[in-house]
Amino acid sequence: AQRVTQPEKLLSVFKGAPVELKCNYSYSGSPELFWYVQYSRQRLQLLLRHISRESIKGFTADLNKGETSFHLKKPFAQEEDSAMYYCALSAGGTSYGKLTFGQGTILTVHP
Partner 1 sequence: EAGVAQSPRYKIIEKRQSVAFWCNPISGHATLYWYQQILGQGPKLLIQFQNNGVVDDSQLPKDRFSAERLKGVDSTLKIQPAKLEDSAVYLCASSSLRSGKAKNIQYFGAGTRLSVL
Binding site for partner 1 (CB under 8 A): 4, 9, 32, 43-46, 49, 86, 88, 90, 94-104
Q: Which residues contact 15 (CB under 8 A, 6 or more apart)?
A: 77, 78, 79, 109, 110, 111
- Smallest gap from Cβ 36 to partner 1, in A, equals 8
Q: How far is the CB of 26 from partner 1 (least distance, A)?
A: 15
Q: Which is nearer to partner 1, 59 or 86 (CB)?
A: 86
Q: Tell me whether residue 45 or residue 78 sits nearer to partner 1 (CB atom).
A: 45
Give CA–CA dist 99/85, Å, rounded: 15
